[in-house]
Chain A
Amino acid sequence: MNYTDEAFLVLFGVTFALYYAARGARQQVWILVIASLIFYAWESPPLLAVFCCSWLLTGALSYLAARAPSEKRARTLTGVGVVSNLALLAFFKYKFLFLAQATDAEQIRTVADWLIFAPLPIGISFYVFHAISLLVDSFRGDSTISGRSKRVYGHLADTLLYLVFFPQLIAGPIIKAKQFFPQVTYKAFSEVPFRSAFGILTVGFFFKRVVADNLSEQTYWIAFPYFLGRSSIDLLFLLVGYSAQIFADFAGYSLIAIGLAKLLGYTLPRNFDFPYLASSFSEFWRKWHISLSSWLRDYLYIPLGGNKTPGMRTYLNLMVVMFLGGLWHGAAWSFAIWGVWHGLALMAERPFATTRFMTAGGVCRVVRVLIVFSVVTVGWLFFKLQDAREAFMFLRSIFTTDVAGVSPSNVLIAIYVLPVFGYHLFSLYRERLNMPGREYVLAAMLFLTIANSGPVASFIYFQF
């Protein structure tokens, strides 16, 4: 189910009414769990089986690890949970590096066929990361988790809600267990922050339906072999258009998720902080998909030694994290190349971090922002063209194509890219924009969301 489906609106409306009619926290938890399971199983109920494996394993092992008599025992239980979840992810996601997906339902006859050919379970990359967060936080003895439920059933129910909570189930934001569990309390209707949720949802739907969905119509032509018929200027417009589209799509999704969670009394972490204003690659990763980068930092980079390791080891850590972070996005080598591309950028800037150019403001900062944006935008090509050879062919075409002229569709790309850059520039002046001005901007966004939406397209990050 998609946030932009009519069925989702009905599900959310019914859930919202029942949720605030419930009398206690436990009832509210179960209402959310049932709604989330319907949301998840809507397209493909058998995929619930994979999810339930992860849930039962994570719930039971995290409960036992938190109460283990010795640290060695707790470490073993946590290790088993982490490895099992990663094995689940590796099998269901990365088998397609070696196998073709089933194109015909008749190919799937037995459970074994299903296991081999079944499509990627939606959201598995996200709920596996949630599961690992819960296991590790339980092992570390975080009292907000281990102290919540004395009985295993209560802990399993909380775990189920944490993993399946529908606003963040399919594509995050990834919320750490220690941030989520303390929020599982009774929520009163009188405390719903309608005003801020309305603003967040309006901006989210505007980015998704108006900007990303309309840009997806234009950036479709990045596909092979269509880009071969485009001029260099067209190809550059397409690249910048895709860069804006992926931001609008994912930031829009994240804002919708945060807004919906707010209506249910939960606070999800911020996922984007005007990333295209970043003036270094390390700053970019503090502003883009924040919940993933902070997860990778806490559960991978720091355990590897982070930047406290001597000499070249820090560089190796950076590359390992970016390579795995890239591959986490999908079972295609182009994602790994994308991760390595960012890893190289992070490594390249590190020795210059304290130089005058990297610390100065003004023109130097503007130049740095443009460099970071350009490198990041080229990187997105490996997201769009998942056959790396085609991506390299696209890059070569920018410099070698014989096609001349400028496509009129560049005007459309410019129109839809404008809100993305306007949004980033707005961040510089947001304190000066008074409240009545904001209301008019929200009204215009709402009007355009209804009147100028693009064709409904799936969220880009749903494929991960």
Chain B
Amino acid sequence: MKKALSVCAVMFIAYAAFVWKFPEDRPRGQSQSQQNRIVLERFLAGESPVEIVFVGTSLTTKLLVERSQLRDCAYNLAIDGGSVLTGLRAIKLSERRPKTVMVETNFPNRPADEAILRSTSSRLLRYAPFLRTENVPVNRALSYAYRVLHGDRPPTERPLVEAALKEQQRWLAKTVAPQVLSARTAELVRLVTELEASGTQVVFYEMPVAPSLTHSAAFEQTRAQMKAAFAPNRFIKSMELTGDEPVATTDGVHLSALTAAAVLNRFPVRCDEAKQARYAI
């Protein structure tokens, strides 16, 4: 038993030294939840650009900010399968204030993920990087393998799955319980007001989806609710982000890689403008 404990301690020290000496630039997680943790841990540790921050759900995660012209000034804090509130709460938890926060409005009814915020905001992770999700041994191996195999090639285009589109049509035909939507919107208003009070500009945008879903009951309900709550703010309509181009998705709501890249280019934000402004603290 003593020998096992001693060997384990030696392995830990060696691994911590390896992580400190060879940090990972483009970390990858094994799953959606690990990727979310990596995104949050990097932001909360102060190791990401902060001038422009995108917060949203899995729809926004398709915007590969780190591969775009915005990579030096923008960070995608969207949470796969999660809530826009989680990203906003993370900004509030961090000691940094972005110049501009881009807020996705497609699914404002989801609650903030308290558990992931609690576990990723630990100070221990800031000072002991070898404990972070990106440095989990299998994740390091995965990041390395991905870099070797894919290099800088763009992600592959995946076709639309008709069955998944039908499922989305079924889900989005139903509206959200009004009291749930009101409660989440109230929290969204509070967090946005706090950000604006500290000098951050907040811009709302609706991610484009398949044309057959654009006017679904759930999205119409959400649009009306957002406009009522944030009337004077800047809204970017999904049409402004797609122009005349067709919208290609993999399941009706998640953009395909090429469409997502085109959409990202249409966002009216630029690094040079964002960097000229001083951070509002």
State in angstroms the CA–CA spacing of A139 and B161 once bound together.
61
Residue A448 interfacial (CB < 8 Å)? yes
Measured between beta carbons, the chain B residues less than 8 angstroms from A265 are none
Contact among B1, B15, B37 with A451 in the assembled complex (CB-CB below 8 Å): B15
Residue contact A214 to B30, C-beta cutoff 8 Å? yes
Residue A217 interfacial (CB < 8 Å)? yes
Measured between beta carbons, the chain A residues less than 8 angstroms from B136 are 451-452
Residue contact A217 to B12, C-beta cutoff 8 Å? no
Contact with B along A436-454 (1 / 0, CB 8 A): 1001101110111011100
Residue A220 interfacial (CB < 8 Å)? yes
Q: Which residue of A lies closest to B168 (CB)?
A: A225
Residue B178 interfacial (CB < 8 Å)? no
Contact with A along B239-254 (1 / 0, CB 8 A): 0000000000011000
Given contacts A218-B31, A228-B163, A403-B161, contact A447 B11 (CB under 8 A): yes
Contact with A along B1-16 (1 / 0, CB 8 A): 1011111100110010
Measured between beta carbons, the chain A residues less than 8 angstroms from B30 are 214, 217-218, 409, 412
- Which residues of A217-238 have CB atoms within 8 Å of chain B's CB atoms? 217-218, 220, 225, 228-229
Residue contact B8 to A455, C-beta cutoff 8 Å? no
State in angstroms the CA–CA spacing of A443 and B15 once bound together.
14
Please give the distance in Å from A447's CB to the nearest CB on chain B.
4
Q: Which residue of A lies closest to B138 (CB)?
A: A452
Residue contact A225 to B33, C-beta cutoff 8 Å? no
State in angstroms the CA–CA spacing of A456 and B136 once bound together.
15
Q: How many residues on chain A are close to B (CB under 8 Å)?
A: 29
State in angstroms the CA–CA spacing of A450 and B167 once bound together.
39
Please give the distance in Å from A406's CB to the nearest CB on chain B.
12
Residue contact A439 to B138, C-beta cutoff 8 Å? no
Measured between beta carbons, the chain B residues less than 8 angstroms from A228 are 161, 163-164
Residue B46 interfacial (CB < 8 Å)? no
Majority DSSP secondary structure for residues of B touching A: helix
Residue A50 interfacial (CB < 8 Å)? no
Residue A90 interfacial (CB < 8 Å)? no
Contact among A229, A450, A452 with B164 in the assembled complex (CB-CB below 8 Å): A229
B-contacting 9-mer, from A11-19, A91-99, A109-117, A194-202: A194-202
- Which residues of B4-58 have CB atoms within 8 Å of chain A's CB atoms? 4-8, 11-12, 15, 30-34, 37
Measured between beta carbons, the chain B residues less than 8 angstroms from A452 are 136-138
Residue contact B12 to A451, C-beta cutoff 8 Å? yes
Measured between beta carbons, the chain B residues less than 8 angstroms from A436 are 3
State in angstroms the CA–CA spacing of A415 and B142 once bound together.
11
State in angstroms the CA–CA spacing of A96 and B130 once bound together.
45
Q: Which residue of B lies closest to A450 (CB)?
A: B12
- Which residues of B143-160 have CB atoms within 8 Å of chain A's CB atoms? none
Q: How many residues on chain B are close to A (CB under 8 Å)?
A: 28
Given contacts A228-B164, A448-B137, contact A442 B4 (CB under 8 A): yes
Residue contact A439 to B7, C-beta cutoff 8 Å? yes
Q: Which residue of B lies closest to A448 (CB)?
A: B137
- Which residues of A402-454 have CB atoms within 8 Å of chain B's CB atoms? 403, 409, 412, 415, 436, 439-440, 442-444, 446-448, 450-452
State in angstroms the CA–CA spacing of A228 and B168 once bound together.
13
Q: Which residue of B lies closest to A415 (CB)?
A: B138
Contact among A194, A229, A448 with B161 in the assembled complex (CB-CB below 8 Å): A229
Residue contact B31 to A220, C-beta cutoff 8 Å? yes
State in angstroms the CA–CA spacing of A218 and B29 once bound together.
12
Q: Which residue of A lies closest to B15 (CB)?
A: A451
Residue contact A217 to B7, C-beta cutoff 8 Å? no
Measured between beta carbons, the chain B residues less than 8 angstroms from A415 are 138
Tell which of A199, A229, A450 has the most Cβ of chain B within 10 Å: A229
Please give the distance in Å from B51's CB to the nearest CB on chain A.
31
State in angstroms the CA–CA spacing of A446 and B6 once bound together.
11
Residue contact A447 to B12, C-beta cutoff 8 Å? yes
Contact among A198, A229, A440, A443 with B251 in the assembled complex (CB-CB below 8 Å): A229
Contact with B along A189-213 (1 / 0, CB 8 A): 0000011001100100000000000
Contact among A218, A229, A446 with B8 in the assembled complex (CB-CB below 8 Å): A446
- Which residues of B36-90 have CB atoms within 8 Å of chain A's CB atoms? 37
Residue contact A443 to B8, C-beta cutoff 8 Å? yes
Measured between beta carbons, the chain A residues less than 8 angstroms from B250 are 229
Residue contact A444 to B11, C-beta cutoff 8 Å? yes
Measured between beta carbons, the chain B residues less than 8 angstroms from A443 are 3-8, 11
Measured between beta carbons, the chain B residues less than 8 angstroms from A220 are 31
State in angstroms the CA–CA spacing of A229 and B251 once bound together.
9
Tell which of B3, B30, B137, B163 has the most Cβ of chain A within 10 Å: B30
Please give the distance in Å from B163's CB to the nearest CB on chain A.
4
Please give the distance in Å from B17's CB to the nearest CB on chain A.
13
- Which residues of B107-156 have CB atoms within 8 Å of chain A's CB atoms? 130-131, 136-138, 142
* Cβ-closest 5 pairs across A and B: A217-B31, A443-B7, A442-B4, A443-B8, A228-B163
A sample of 10 inter-chain contacts (CB < 8 A) reads A218-B30, A220-B31, A225-B163, A225-B167, A229-B250, A403-B161, A439-B3, A443-B5, A443-B8, A448-B137
